[in-house]
Amino acid sequence: MQPRRLSQGLVLLLATGMPFLHLYATARSQGDRDALMASPVWRLLSLAFYPLGDPERVARFLRGIPGWTFSLGPISLTDPLAAIGLRAWSPALMLSLAIPIALTLVIGRYFCGWVCPAGFLSEILLALRKLLIRLGVRLPEWKLGNRWRFALLALGAAYSLLTGILVFPWFYPPAVLGRELYLAIARTEIGLGTVFLSILALVELVAMPRVWCHSLCPGGAMYALIGKARLLRIKRAADRCVGCRRCEEVCAFAQSPVTDRIGSDCTTCGACIQACPAQALAVSLPIAPEPRVATREGSS
């Protein structure tokens, strides 16, 4: 399995498993363990929890919504969108914001390609759409420009700053997905967020593939802006490139490594590097020398 897929899958697994974990830990702390153990489902889950340690301790160690506001023991990670509009700041909050911002300054728009659970589900929808097309189902493909996401980021930030009301958690998929999973699992409820995500999934499957990630996501816009100053970049060894353009074909964000046009939308996912048959692409620092090609015996 590709490391990127493993990372995305782990985040989605955490987002799904944490509501079960906290529900189980709460029932145990209230003395309802025997009632839980009467259910085969909870007996199975308890077998999964105990290798990690006491469920109550694990529940205290893992908190929040992976990909939004998440605590792993003493380490807290907060999406910068979650802080826009807050009137009170603390050193702990600033530290939790500094980690993802620093990672973006080094790696670029890593969150979209390696972490975002909603983006992972969107990629699954894209694969399903391609399967339907191969089976003969005719589906339209409409597109929006990518500037809409910057408008949503600006409007949402302005509204939150002026009113103090945090607006992004209501339509930012990583936050919505985590909240809806908790409602569905811990409270057996379905909120408006599920309706929003379902409509978005249907639109992406039928007519506008990956429209949220490409055109509407304020988080993607914010990470793209921060990622303009990233250190790690994908570089091309021009003397090795054969011009096949396979790197363009696999890029989910319309970057063009073959022509050295790789902007801040690059998620450093590595798909282009893996697709290149000539191994002409590599991740490097701006100060690093251009990749060299070993001279073949008998060549000049």
d(CA 210, CA 195): 18
Q: What is the pLDDT of residue 36?
A: 64
What is the pLDDT confidence band of residue 159, given thresholds at 50, 70 and 90?
very high
d(CA 134, CA 145): 27
- pTM for the predicted model, two decimal places: 0.84
Q: What is the pLDDT of residue 18?
A: 86
**Residue 57, number of CB atoms within 10 A of its CB:** 11
**DSSP for residue 289:** P
Higher-confidence residue: 293 or 183?
A: 183
d(CA 173, CA 195): 12
Query: Which CATH architecture group holds 232-284?
Result: 2-Layer Sandwich (3.30)
d(CA 160, CA 89): 15
Percent pLDDT > 70 in the chain is 86
Mean pLDDT rounded to a whole number for the chain: 86
Domain extents in the chain: 68-230, 232-284
24-28, 172-176, 180-184, 213-217: least confident range: 24-28
48-52, 70-74, 83-87: least confident range: 48-52
Give the long-range contacts of residues 52-60, CB within 8 A, separation 24 or more. Answer: 55/21, 55/24, 55/25, 55/28, 56/25, 56/28, 56/29, 58/21, 58/25, 59/21, 59/22, 59/24, 59/25, 59/26, 60/25
d(CA 212, CA 29): 41
Give the long-range contacts of residues 149-153, CB within 8 A, separation 24 or more. Answer: 149/215, 149/216, 149/217, 149/218, 149/220, 149/221, 150/221, 152/216, 152/217, 152/218, 152/221, 153/218, 153/221, 153/222
For residues 241-262, give the mean pLDDT. Answer: 91
Residue 17 reports pLDDT greater than 60: yes
CA angle at residue 250 from 244 to 255, to 5 degrees?
A: 85
Q: CB-hemisphere CA count at 13 Å for 158?
A: 6
What amino acid is encoded at 149 in this protein? R
Torsion angle, alpha carbons of 244, 249, 253, 256, to 10: 10
